With several copies, the nearest count.
Chain A
Amino acid sequence: MPLDILYFAWVREHVGLSSERAELPADASTPLKVAQWLAARGGGYATAFAAPEKLRCALDQQVVAMTDPIGEAREIAFFPPVTGG
């Protein structure tokens, strides 16, 4: 099933997209694995996902750990730690 992938802040700038729809490979079962798969695309993706430990992830708009299962989520977002307020 296709998943919406969203990018924010410098992740968005490096990738050059706000969002895209993609079919994940069968083994991309966690945000970390999705990040590694995206990094392997090279270019801006490689830059954005070079250090997954600097990223945060939300599944269906709930923050999760990078090693949590993606399960039935329809939307995955990658972004740096938040800096609002």
Chain B
Amino acid sequence: MRRIAVQSEDFDPGAELDLLQGADAGAVASFTGIVRGDDGVEALTLEHYPGMTERALADLAEAAMTRWPLSAVTIIHRIGTLPKGARIVFVGTASAHRAAALEACAFLIDRLKTDAPFWKKEHGRAGDRWVETRATDAAAADRWR
């Protein structure tokens, strides 16, 4: 199973885990990213590049399934304006093997951050501000190359 979604609506992490578990797995790993209220941030707006985004996420899923023995991969990314505490992104993997599920899950979220065309704008106390990339994100993605 490869499940890729780019959507403004929220998703249900429990339902996503159920779908992954159904894929004859012994191990399911997941990562959920949530809007943090650091530095007075009240909300984020997520912009993306329609068409390219779906392709980039499908390429990442494919890369993970080539590298690890996975029975299922799910990537869901929300777009639009999301308040503090809202879910932004979900990455889930299913495998017969625990290490494969865990490593592929980390790979997917690390690489998504550098390879998928999304841009975040913060709204908060300090006004509106486009988020800049962090060197730690590039380093996290690089360890998979």
Contacts and interface: CB of A to CB of B under 8 A. Distances in A.
A79 B120 contact: no
Contact of A85 (B33, B52, B132): B33
A83 B52 contact: no
B121 interface: yes
Contact of A83 (B55, B98, B109, B118): B118
Interface string B114-127: 11111111000000
Interface stretch (B8-16, B41-49, B63-71): B41-49
Given A58-B49, A61-B49, A79 B112 contact: no
Contact of B119 (A61, A63, A82): A82
Interface string B75-101: 001000000000011000000001000
A9 B49 CA distance: 10
A82 B52 contact: no
Contacts of B130: 9-10, 80, 83
B100 to A, nearest CB: 15
Contacts of A63: 115
A6 B112 CA distance: 21
Interface in A30-73: 58, 61, 63
A15 interface: no
A8 B33 contact: no
A45 B51 CA distance: 25
8 contacts: A58-B49, A61-B52, A63-B115, A80-B133, A82-B119, A84-B48, A85-B33, A85-B77
Interface of B: 33, 46-49, 51-52, 55, 77, 88-89, 98, 109, 112-121, 130-133
